[in-house]
Amino acid sequence: MHVDGITWHAITLDPAPHAAMYKLMTDTFGVTPMMEGNGFVLFMMPNGTILDLYEPSALPDYGFNSGGMIFGFRVDDIEAASRAVEDAGCELLGQITRLEAMSYAYRHFRGPDGRVYGLNEYNPPAAK
């Protein structure tokens, strides 16, 4: 397993700050949402970095960290990374989820400090 960096960030915001951040991302930064749902939006930057904005009502069943922030480690092999963090005593949360349209896969885990983190694998199509 190789870790390429921290490339996924998620923030939990109440509805008014959530709307303000949405406006900042779209109107000021010019980033188009890649996915949206009730109380959730995902922005993918040109370099593959992801920012998720959640309202508390849209959080996954296992929740996120107190303070409302989570981040994920970009890995080259999500299956190997999952085995490695589990072997290190971390709790895997859910299954690996693959988003084929984004060439992206993710999985959450609870670290030894009790916080939730992510593993993510991004394999963009080769440029022509």
* Residues with Cβ within 8 Å of residue 123, at least 6 apart in sequence: 103, 104
107 found inside a domain? yes
Residue 109, domain CATH: 3.10.180.10
Q: Is 90 exceeded by the pLDDT of residue 66?
A: no
Residue 128 has pLDDT above 70, yes or no: no
Whether residue 93 is contained in a domain is answered as yes
| Beta bridge partners of residue 72, listed in sequence order | 8, 118
Q: How confident is the model at residue 97 (pLDDT cuts 50, 70, 90)?
A: very high
Residues 6 or more apart whose Cβ sits within 8 Å of residue 41 = 22, 25, 33, 35, 52, 53
Q: Is the pLDDT of residue 17 over 70?
A: yes
Whether 103 has a pLDDT exceeding 90, the answer reads no
User: pLDDT category, 41, cuts 50, 70, 90?
Assistant: very high
- Asked whether residue 10 is assigned to any structural domain, the reply reads yes
Band the pLDDT of 55: cuts 50, 70, 90. very high
pLDDT in tens, 106-124: 999 999 888 889 999 988 7
How many domains, the chain?
1
Residue 114 within a domain: yes
Task: Determine, yes or no, domain membership for 112.
Answer: yes
Q: Which domain holds residue 95?
A: 3-122
Domain assignment present for residue 128? The answer is no
- In this prediction, residues 89-116 reach a mean pLDDT of 91
Average pLDDT over residues 43-55: 89
